[in-house]
Amino acid sequence: MSRSIVRQSKFRHVFGQTVKAEQGYDDIRVSKVTWDSSFCAVNPKFLAVIIESSGGGAFLVLPITKTGRVDKSYPLVTGHSGPVLDIDWCHHDDNILASCSEDCTAMVWQIPDHALTRPLTDPVVVLEGHSKRVGIVSWHPTARNILLTAGSDNLIIVWNVGTGEPLISMDDHPDLIYSISWNRNGSLFCTTCKDRRLRVCDPRKREVVAERLAPHEGIRPMRAIFTRDGNIFTTGFTRMSQRELGLWDPTNFEEPIAVLELDTSNGVLLPYYDADANMVYLCGKGDSSIRYFEITDEPPYVHYLSTFSSKEPQRGMGFMPKRGVDVSKCEIARLFKLLDKKCEPITMTVPRKSDLFQDDLYPDTAGPEPAMEPEDWLDGRDEDPILVSMREGYVPPKSRELKVSKKNMLDSRPTTRRSMSTLETNSLPPQLLERLLEEIQNLKATVLSQEKRICDLEDKLSQYTNGTD
């Protein structure tokens, strides 16, 4: 008599649960821009959400503990002159956030530990190198201050944020880039493109080292992420517009390791990967469910685990790094689901009877310390992330100032404006020159008086907020 054998896995019974209403974030006007990014980024300290705003682009940054209703007058980060398209927290500093926008720039921000008391308008550094809108920002997983940007000019630029300089520029893509994912040590990244090709790029050699035409035969957007073993997990569409996922070995793109058809729906599937558990969470824009899978070395290689369903469709999703989960509750992942007007945290938990630390659920995970400096990586060195234990939980360190060497930035940027001292004053009539100098002095005086007024108002505001806290 034959018996069906159930696959053994500690993640078979993972279940999702929405937190209580008071532990969510309400009254958030989530962006309506038509761009397939997640609109949300989260780390153990902060939640950041791209929001609707008039007169440029803005996003909201909340301390992760500031749950409940968000006041309409809560200060925003408002440095971009066009809608913000993507945001990403730095892996090595929980107070550093990168953003990119339709204004053709990327910006890096230092967020203070306390809640913002006034709008943040001055980034630490502005990265200008794209000629069209910038749709993707992604931090290097192991090297300090290395940031990748990709724009609608089909250009990929790797920056040293510490100097504001572009280190590497790649123009190998003939069409719009849909997604980019670094591998575990940051030696390679994979991309998906509107030309229906999946590419593996070596940025330091400035070349495409492997590519595959149409890993999914449909023409709708694909997504791809590197797994910890060096394989590539993809989501896309069949020729009949069915959504499907695939697992590929980049050293042999001829045949997939696994392909699995899912359902018929229009929403692009955004994959979120947990390298410690080797699990993938699939969140479709416009879906009201989250599917999750485990990747193993045994056929069929990609194992469906379960689906978390809720009533309302999601506009975007944030994924907490493993160091931000609650180990005392056997929580292995936390997702932040964006709805039209709010953000709902969803906890993914493995049911266990014991209250003790579960070693098998929490191997050492990537910590906040960079494994190398930008110069080391550029010289060809590769390092895996520096791991930290989860046994005692994770306490985020205090804010560290991001030091930017402005000298290199100024040397490399074209001068767009000359001071009065460099003008050829001899060519100006004396009366006109005198009038110009007088007008400049008057403008300077006006600016100084306005700055003093702003400082006085800020002092009053801080006194008021401190008095009401």
Task: Render 97-147 in DSSP notation, one character per residue.
Answer: EEEEETTSEEEEEE--SSPPSS-B---SEEEE--SS-EEEEEE-SSBTTEE
Residues forming beta bridges with residue 26, ordered by sequence position? 69, 342
pLDDT score, position 436 = 75
Top-confidence residue, 392 or 68: 68
- Identify the band that residue 86 occupies on the pLDDT scale cut at 50, 70 and 90: very high
Q: Assign residue 217 a region (left: φ > 0; alpha: ψ between -120 and 50; beta: otherwise).
A: alpha
Q: pLDDT band at residue 424, thresholds of 50, 70 and 90?
A: very low
- Specify which residues 57 forms β-bridges with: 80
For 338-348, how does the pLDDT look when each residue is reduced to its tens digit (9 = 90+)? 999 999 999 99
The SS3 call for residue 210 is strand
Is residue 131 included in any domain, yes or no?
yes
The pLDDT value recorded for residue 408 is: 42
CATH number of residue 207's parent domain: 2.130.10.10
* Counted domains in the chain: 1
Is the pLDDT at 371 greater than 80, yes or no?
yes
Residue 40 has a pLDDT of 97
pLDDT in tens, 243-256: 999 999 999 999 99
Tokens of 366: 């990537």
Q: 445 in a domain, yes or no?
A: no
C-beta of residue 182 within 8 angstroms of C-beta of residue 130: no
What average pLDDT does this structure show over 109-138?
Answer: 95
The CA distance from 203 to 216, in Å, is 25
Using the structure block, give the residue that is written with the tokens 């550094």.
125
What stretch of H or E contains 344?
Answer: strand 342-349
Asked if residue 239 is part of any domain, the answer here is yes
Is 457 inside a domain boundary? no
pTM metric for this prediction: 0.84
Report whether pLDDT(137) > 50.
Answer: yes
| pLDDT band with cut points at 50, 70 and 90 for residue 5 | low
Map tokens 């200060």 to a residue. Answer: 75
Q: What is the rounded CA–CA span in Å between residue 248 and residue 292?
A: 18
Q: What is the pLDDT of residue 453?
A: 73
Q: Is residue 416 included in any domain, yes or no? A: no
Task: Give the structural domain span for 264.
Answer: 15-366
**Mean pLDDT score, 231-258:** 96
Is 400 a domain residue?
no
| Helix or strand holding residue 229 (H, E) | none
Asked whether residue 443 is domain-assigned, the answer is no
Looking at every residue in the chain, the average pLDDT score rounds to: 89
Rounded average pLDDT over 446-460: 71
Q: How confident is the model at residue 468 (pLDDT cuts 50, 70, 90)?
A: very low
Predicted pLDDT at 115: 81
pLDDT digits (tens, 9 = 90+) for 37-54: 999 999 999 999 999 988
- More confident: 403 or 158: 158
For 7-157, where are the alpha helices, taking DSSP H only? none
Burial-class residue 166 by CB neighbours within 10 Å (0-12, 13-18, 19+).
Answer: middle
- Whether the per-residue pLDDT at 11 is higher than 80: the answer is yes
Predicted pLDDT at 428 = 56
What is residue 425's DSSP assignment?
Answer: G
Q: What is the DSSP letter of 13?
A: T
Stronger pLDDT, 157 or 394, i.e. the higher one: 157
**pLDDT at residue number 409:** 40
- For position 328, what pLDDT does the model report? 92
The verdict on whether omega for the bond into residue 300 sits within 30 degrees of 0, i.e. cis, is yes
Distance CA 364, CA 72 (A): 40
Separation CA 91–CA 142 (nearest Å): 8
Domain-embedded: residue 266: yes
Say whether 101 sits in a helix, a strand or coil: strand
Say whether pLDDT at 415 is over 60.
no
pLDDT tens, position by position, 268-297: 999 999 999 999 999 998 999 999 999 999
Cβ proximity of 47 and 62 under 8 Å: yes
Q: Are 134 and 101 in contact (CB under 8 A)?
A: yes
